[in-house]
Amino acid sequence: MRSVWCTIQTVSGDSQPRRRAPRILVTATTEVVRGRPRVRVNEAYTDALLAAGMTPLVLPPINPRAALQALDDADALLLTGGEDIDPKQFDQSPHEKTGEPHAARDACELALARAARDRRTPTFAICRGAQVMNVALGGTLVQDISSQRTTDINHDQSIRRTERVHDVVVDEGSLLSRVVGAADIRVNSSHHQSVDQVAPGLRVTATASDGIIEAVESTDPSWWMLAVQWHPEELLGTTEDWDRRLFEAFARAAGADRSA
C-alpha cells in the first residue's frame, strides 16, 4: 500500500517531507450535451474535495478492469449521485417509476465498490453512491419510496439541493456520529430510491423519521466507508458544519499512511 508522503525540493533549497493532497477517484456519468456525448460530474463534488484539501480525479464510466487500475493510483474513492441502478443488479424487475439505467456506469461503479471493500480503500458514497455500495455488497433497494413506502416526507426535492429539508437521526455509536458530532441533523433530499435490505458487512447508522435509511457504514473497523443518502457537497455553505466535517474526515482517512 502507498504512503501519501513525498519529498519536494523548495526554492530555498530546503528539502523536507511534505504531505501531498490525497488523490480521490471521483465517479462520473455520461450525457449528451449540445449533440455530443460528454463525461459529466457536478462541480459541487470537486469543489467540496478541493475545499477539504483533496485532489479530484474524475473517472468516466469505463471498462471495470481499467477502472480498477485507476483505483490503484488513487488514495480514496468517491461514489457520486445520479441515475437509478438497474434492478437486475439486485434480482428485481423494474418498478414503473424506476429510471433508465446506465449499464456502463453500473458495471464500473459496482466493480469499484467491491474492490474498495476488498482493498480497504477509504470510500465516501453519496446518494446513488450509497445505493451502489449496498447493491455491490449484496443488498437491495426500495425502487420508489413514494409508492412502496408509507411516508409523510418528500424525499425527492431536487430543486432544493442547497436547503435542509428534513431531519435525520444518527446512531450514537457510529462513525457517522463521531464525524458529524451530533445525534440529530437536518439534510437536503434529492432521491426517490433508498437502501432496503442492508448488505452483509454494512450497518444502518442514520434514518429519517419515516424509517427510510439515510446512512450506512462498514462494520469492519479497518475499512473507512461512509455512505449517506443526502448530498453533503451541496450544503457546505450553510451555517451548520456537519457536512464540512464529513469531507474533512474523508480527507483525513484518504491521507492516512496505509503502508501497513
Residue of 109, 214, 217, 233 marked active site: 233
Whether residue 127 lies in the annotated active site: yes
Gap between the Cα atoms of 23 and 47, Å rounded: 14
- Burial environment of residue 93 by CB neighbours within 10 A (0 to 12, 13 to 18, 19 or more): exposed
Whether residue 233 lies in the annotated active site: yes
Whether residue 163 lies in the annotated active site: no
Residue partners of 72: CB distance under 8 A and separation at least 6: none
Gap between the Cα atoms of 127 and 79, Å rounded: 8
Residue partners of 112: CB distance under 8 A and separation at least 6: 25, 27, 64, 67, 68, 71, 77, 79
2 three-class SS: coil
φ, ψ at 121 (rounded to 5°) = -75, 125
Residue of 127, 155, 166, 192 marked active site: 127
Please count the other Cβ atoms lying within 10 Å of the Cβ belonging to residue 144: 18
Please give the positions annotated as active site. 127, 231, 233
